[in-house]
Structure 1
């Protein structure tokens, strides 16, 4: 291949990768709610999880995108690890559709006649609309560019096989060369960060006669191993749930490769029999597509009986981050491209923040001492989490999705309210106790604290709060607060309470009032996070 041929080949890979990226990103945005519903349906059974993984990957044309979305559901608490593993296994099977597109479309149709109308229509939708229409146009444009890249790759390998007789090389050293081609498949996938692109190169090279069929099959296995690099790179800085899910993907791919490579000659023979049985031409690309599907199914059959043991084993790994409350447990940077999933992750992280803020509030409410070192540590934890939530919300782009665009500022508000609760809790704990109060005033303060406990219970972030009950609890506290404040001021004016004790008591009651106000606002916004904004609730919260 000449230098100009190499440049054309590299350009073909670039077009293919660009098309895949545009198609995948566009479909994820256009089918955002549907993707969310399909993945959520995987909770019903492990088999449905595998089926959902196959279907969604076939539609989105990116197993990495589906796996990262699944990790997002785990982070958001909508799927457990066992359910997510089923989707991941299915995604590894669903990615074989790329091989079938290359084999059945790439060598049987005039790809430019297919690609150009798709690019024209897609760009028309993309530049003339917004929201899901623009996303659909982006996906359609990517679809056309995908086939243009495939057409360039196919032409790049045409006739190269006549000049390079690698079949003879394969005959001289069969096993060694197969291992070499497996390594080449790994390297190609790691370099291009796309197993689909590596498979397209492999299938077109085999169809052009550049490499023998067995060597191409070894590259297909290598691409399966190489795709684990994406997951391996993704775990750096990721949440424990993301690391466990990524590890499941790596294990599946390695098991599939370890079984398929020794059985390669027999799997190729079975691929020929399958092609004949279904009336398909024994074209190298078709045989490799069948081979790719067989290896994925073989890996699934081999690992499926051990899924429960794998879930238990992975559940005991990567636990150090879970032990640090100040590190986010649900915010995964790889799902920001799927905004609805990112909102779910934000909601879960905010509930963690809320649990800490409420714990601080109750500790401060019952504290009779001054500054509390534990409260200071917990406030520092909330500060770290609050900054992480705000940074994460800033990295999510709704792409015209009204629900997402409305939820992001709500998430920031909730984080700020929880941080405000922490500050008020510290203020309450640091305000010195007034000491002994007259019986009537002491009883009034005790009743006020009981009312505060009711507000905190109604605003509990771990469950979706009953906003009517929260309104009633806050109204009762507010009425008691005004009543108690008036009684304290009257008692002070009569000399029944000393000036210092009066000031301290009023300061503590005021700090408690502000704390509960922050808790109520946080509960209202958190209750609506991701489901739209009601004007009445917004006015009440602000």
Structure 2
């Protein structure tokens, strides 16, 4: 068989495998986005649970990158601590070895013509007919596994042909230099394909076809494992500080594990072979290499776990100046876009951060008045830059494959963002209210204005994002009380103007300032209620998919704001 045909077979096999992994990963993320979110949120409370969850999710989703991105999203949103996230990263590296076991156990023992082609024939129509539904996602996964087996079969045939015509023994004759060269090849394959699964599948099929000896293939597996750090590195470029910290943890784990595995490579291979004999495992190269891949990743967890607290402390110390820069987004970057459910959560958290900054600005203005004036322009520029960043993120997210619910979330989040921006514009014009009020002759009116500003300050300071009925009631009742106070003060000022106690020009100025403040408070109310409503709706959606008791769903539904109220809000 000529060289061009062999290269074509290898390239085709790799391409099919990469397409298969994309189908499987994308389909599982769409089908189980909420389940992924629930597992990460609820099953990482202890270090052992974090490792187990990371391992399980990566084994199911077949992508450590997808789990890492999801973990970054949860750390960004404050749902996971950095310590918990590191545990998930440890587990995901163990879970990613499932690909090697799939290749070893199924890849060479399945008749492609009996299973793979029918899986594609069933899965692709399901996906085409309903690309954004769970049924379509299941079809995508089904087709992905069919492509997976065809890709493995194509690679196996290509490497068997290579083994008959090419002698690779010379690569292993250079001792440590040869080992480093093989590690570099494994690393390069992962960097080029951006998939350690593809690189490891190629290595296992090459070893099965007799192209690579066991030590050579083991060195390439180590290189492939190290190559996953490139994905984490590229993902962290321009990302949030939390994303960089999680990516750094991933890089540290793989680097330490790879170095240790290389240092004791002969001992590890001996241990694997002996373990295989004790467990009565098939001593084919693919099974031995799959066991090797799993063993040295577990060894990495054992070695690094005692130092995890120190690693987390060091990571927290990194990138501090960037995190403290208010003009940069804290929750949004391209990594969270990989999973729409997490992108929605990160978006809500970033917009809430804009709302918090807007409320802090309002509190400072109401407390310090004109003395805060010199800092207003800087604060406004910060908020406007964040608003622009959120707008860019929403535009990018709209280009993803979103279901109707997520598309509606984008529209509502954009509206909430504009409400907070308008609230800031309005409240900046109120900086002179305190000074203007102090010039009044009527001390009772001065006291009423002072009490009104104090009450508004307390209301703004106590607002926080929680999806509970009591929180919605507190926000709504606080605003209604403030609105009553505003109308009372407005009436008193108008009466004072009618009796010439206040000049008309001064009266108009005071009424304008009070109107601005009232509208700023209204915009805050609308923005916060939209975010609270979105959180509540998303939680209710998760509850339904997880099969919560019917009476609990009915109880939760009573807590929802009805459609008429939602329309009135926006």
TM-score for both structures, normalised by structure 1? 0.95
Match of 1:241 in 2: 242
Match of 2:452 in 1: 448
Q: How many residues align?
A: 541
1:451/1:476 contact within 8 Å kept: no
- Match of 1:433, SS state, is helix
2:51/2:89 contact within 8 Å kept: yes
Output the CA distance in 1 between the equivalents of 2:564 and 2:235: 42
Output the CA distance in 2 between the equivalents of 1:239 and 1:152: 41
Q: 2:566 aligns with which of 501, 523, 538?
A: 538
- Match of 1:336, SS state, is helix
- Alignment map for 1:104-503 (pairs within 5 Å): 104-129=105-130, 130-167=132-169, 169-170=171-172, 172-369=173-370, 372-396=373-397, 399=401, 401-429=403-431, 433=436, 435-457=439-461, 459-461=463-465, 466-503=471-508
1:26/1:136 contact within 8 Å kept: yes
TM-fit CA distance, 1:458: 5.2
Output the CA distance in 2 between the equivalents of 1:537 and 1:259: 61
- Alignment map for 1:24-39 (pairs within 5 Å): 24-39=25-40
1:42/1:87 contact within 8 Å kept: no
Match of 1:508 in 2: 513
Match of 2:550 in 1: none
Match of 2:540 in 1: none
- Match of 2:78, SS state, is coil
Match of 1:522 in 2: 527
Output the CA distance in 1 between the equivalents of 2:471 and 2:332: 26
- Match of 2:44, SS state, is helix
Output the CA distance in 2 between the equivalents of 1:527 and 1:97: 40
- Structure 1, residues 270-307: CA drift from partner, whole Å, max 9, x if none? 22222222332211111111111111111111111111
- Match of 2:429, SS state, is helix
- Structure 1, residues 221-257: CA drift from partner, whole Å, max 9, x if none? 0001111000111111100000000001001101111
1:112/1:151 contact within 8 Å kept: no
| 371 and 452 in structure 1: CA distance in 2 versus 1, 3 angstrom threshold | closer
- With 527-536 and 495-504 compared, the bigger mean Cα shift is at 527-536
2:229/2:254 contact within 8 Å kept: yes
Output the CA distance in 1 between the equivalents of 2:241 and 2:194: 23
TM-fit CA distance, 1:346: 1.6
- Structure 1, residues 427-484: CA drift from partner, whole Å, max 9, x if none? 1125672523322322332233234235424534489672222222222222222222
Structure 2: gaps of 5 or more residues: 538-559
TM-fit CA distance, 1:393: 2.5
1:428/1:512 contact within 8 Å kept: yes
Output the CA distance in 2 between the equivalents of 1:181 and 1:536: 65
- With 80-89 and 492-501 compared, the bigger mean Cα shift is at 492-501
| 400 and 229 in structure 1: CA distance in 2 versus 1, 3 angstrom threshold | closer
Output the CA distance in 2 between the equivalents of 1:231 and 1:219: 19
TM-fit CA distance, 1:269: 1.7
Output the CA distance in 1 between the equivalents of 2:382 and 2:466: 18
| 505 and 462 in structure 1: CA distance in 2 versus 1, 3 angstrom threshold | farther
Match of 2:88 in 1: 87
Output the CA distance in 1 between the equivalents of 2:297 and 2:305: 12
- With 205-214 and 160-169 compared, the bigger mean Cα shift is at 160-169
| 31 and 368 in structure 1: CA distance in 2 versus 1, 3 angstrom threshold | closer
| 112 and 268 in structure 1: CA distance in 2 versus 1, 3 angstrom threshold | farther
TM-fit CA distance, 1:316: 0.3
Output the CA distance in 2 between the equivalents of 1:459 and 1:511: 20
Structure 1: gaps of 5 or more residues: none
- With 155-164 and 28-37 compared, the bigger mean Cα shift is at 155-164
- With 144-153 and 439-448 compared, the bigger mean Cα shift is at 439-448
- Match of 2:326, SS state, is coil
Output the CA distance in 2 between the equivalents of 1:430 and 1:146: 68
TM-score for both structures, normalised by structure 2? 0.91
The two structures, once aligned, show a CA RMSD in angstroms of: 2.0
Match of 2:554 in 1: none
